[in-house]
Amino acid sequence: MASAAVLGAGGYLGGELLRLLSNHPSLSVTSAVSKSHAGQSIRQVHPNLEAFPDVILAADAAHVDADVAFLAQPAGEAMQTVPSLLQRGIRAVDLGPDYRLPDPNEYARVYGRPHADPDHLAEAAYGLPELFRDSIRRARLVANPGCYPTASLLAIAPLLEKGMITGPVIVDAKSGTSGAGHDPSPSTHHPEAALTVWPYGAPEHRHVPEMRAAIARTGAATPPIVFVPHLVPLVRGILCSVYPTPLSSDRSRWADVLESRYRDSPFVRVGAVPRLPWALGTNRCYLSVQQAGDAPVVFSAIDNLGKGGAAQAIQNANLLMGWPETTGLDRPGFGV
C-alpha cells in the first residue's frame, strides 16, 4: 500500500480528494495539511469522512512523508512547496495553477507574480491523461488541468489534431459555485448566485492561456479562443457548449473523430446530449456532437470537483505510480 498526503485538505477539492481516496485500494492517506484547520482531525473538518479518525491536520508540509502528494492549494502556494517535496522523493500532483503554464513569463503575465520555481515548471507534465498519458507516466510532477480547460480541451483537441477547425472556437461554459472555492466572495455568496446566471472573466479568463498552451503541446495549430464562463445556481458540474469554426459541417465525421480518439480512454463517453448528473461524483467526461443550424456543436459535461479536479488528480497519480488509471475511480454518476 502506497502512502498519500493531501495539502489544502480543508477545502472542497481537498475534501473530494479525501472522499475518493477513502476507497482507493492502493493509496492510504497518511498525512494532511490545512493552515486554517491545523490540529483538528479530518473527521472534525469533514464529518462525512469517517475513514481517517487518526489523521490530524498539520499546519504545513514540513514533515509530510508520502509516496505522492496532492496539492489543492490557492495560486502561488504550490510553487513554494513542490521543490522540497521533490527533493524528498515525493511525487506531486498540483491541482492549482502554478505549473500549468510552461513559460514563466506567461505565468507572470497571467497571475501577476513571478514564478518562484521555474526549473520545475519546465519539467511538469500537463495532467490531461486522454491527451498526454505517456508524458504523465514518465513524470514526477503533474500539473492537474483547470476544470474549464479539461471540459473544453477534451471537446476540441481531437478536431484540432485532425485539422478540422479553420478559425475561432467559441466556448460558452457554465459552472456550479463550488468551482469558486470554499470561502464565499460577494459574487459566489448564495444570495447573490442562487437566482441568476452571471458571466465573468472578461476580457480574458486565466484559463484561456492554459488552453492555448495545452493545444500547443499537442502540436496542433492554436485557433483564437473566445471563452465566456458563467456562474449558475448549482453546487457542482460544468457544461460547455463549444462552437468551433468548422472545415466541414459533417456532424457524423466529427463524432467519429472523437470516438476514435477516445476509444482507449475509459473515462470519456461520446453519445447523447449529456446531463450533468451523469458526470457528478465521477471522473467521466460526456461528449456529444449535435447540429446547430449549418454547423456542428460539441457539448461537454464534467464534474468540476471530479474530472475537473480531485478525480483527475487521482487518475494522474495512478499513472505516476504505474497502476491502471481507473484504480479507485470506476464508479457511476449520481444520475439525478
pLDDT per residue over 33-76, tens digit each? Answer: 999 999 999 999 999 999 888 899 999 999 999 999 999 999 99
Q: How far apart are CA 72 and CA 93, in angstroms?
A: 9
- Runs of H (alpha helix) within 42-146: 42-45, 78-87, 104-111, 118-123, 129-137
Same domain flag for 222 and 158: yes
Question: Catalytic: 147?
Answer: yes
Whether 70 is in a domain gets the answer yes
pLDDT per residue over 163-218, tens digit each? Answer: 999 889 999 999 999 988 887 788 888 888 889 999 998 889 999 999 999 999 99
Burial of 197 by CB count in 10 Å (0-12 exposed, 13-18 middle, 19+ buried)?
exposed
Q: Which residue has the cell 477513502?
A: 22
Beta bridge partners of 239: 174, 301
The amino acid at residue 190 is H
Whether 139 is in a domain gets the answer no
Among the candidates 66, 90, 123, a domain finishes at 123
Whether 173 is in a domain gets the answer yes
Whether 314 is in a domain gets the answer no
Beta bridge partners of 298: 242, 289
Coil, strand or helix at 158: helix
Label the pairing between strands 238-246 and 225-231. Answer: unpaired
Q: Which residue has the cell 464534467?
A: 302
The secondary structure element, H or E, covering residue 238 is strand 238-246
Find out whether 211 and 155 touch, Cβ atoms under 8 Å: no
Same domain flag for 116 and 210: no
Same domain flag for 153 and 109: no
Same domain flag for 171 and 260: yes
Q: Which residue has the cell 475518493?
A: 20
Same domain flag for 111 and 199: no
Same domain flag for 298 and 151: yes
**DSSP state letter for 145:** P
Q: How far apart are CA 279 and CA 1, in angstroms?
A: 29
Same domain flag for 272 and 152: yes
Coil, strand or helix at 147: helix
Among the candidates 123, 157, 184, a domain finishes at 123
* φ and ψ of 288, to 5 deg: -150, 135
Whether 207 is in a domain gets the answer yes
Percent of the chain residues past pLDDT 70, beyond the cut:
99
Q: How far apart are CA 310 and CA 231, in angstroms?
A: 20
Does 203 sit behind a cis peptide bond, omega within 30 degrees of 0 on the bond before it? yes
Residues near 180 by beta carbon (within 8 Å), at least 6 away in sequence: 187, 188, 231
Same domain flag for 105 and 204: no
pLDDT per residue over 84-122, tens digit each? Answer: 999 999 999 999 999 999 999 999 999 999 999 999 999
- pLDDT of 80 reads 97
Name which of 91, 19, 101 is nearest 303 in CA terms. Answer: 19
Its domain, for residue 276, covers 147-303
Q: How far apart are CA 43 and CA 54, in angstroms?
A: 9
Among the candidates 88, 123, 158, a domain finishes at 123
Same domain flag for 42 and 85: yes
Distance of CA 210 to the CA centre of its chain: 12
Whether 134 is in a domain gets the answer no
The CATH number of whichever domain residue 34 belongs to comes to 3.40.50.720
Whether 14 is in a domain gets the answer yes
- pLDDT of 190 reads 83
> Around Cβ 37, how many Cβ atoms within 10 Å?
21
Whether 104 is in a domain gets the answer yes
Q: How far apart are CA 140 and CA 34, in angstroms?
A: 23
- pLDDT of 249 reads 67
pTM: 0.96
The CATH number of whichever domain residue 208 belongs to comes to 3.30.360.10
**Count: domains in the chain:** 2
pLDDT per residue over 261-320, tens digit each? Answer: 999 999 999 999 999 999 999 999 999 999 988 889 999 999 999 999 999 999 999 999
Same domain flag for 152 and 119: no
Same domain flag for 94 and 222: no
Same domain flag for 114 and 163: no
Q: How far apart are CA 62 and CA 59, in angstroms?
A: 9
Q: Which of 125, 147, 165, 270 is catalytic?
A: 147
Beta bridge partners of 240: 173, 300
Q: How far apart are CA 127 and CA 142, in angstroms?
A: 6
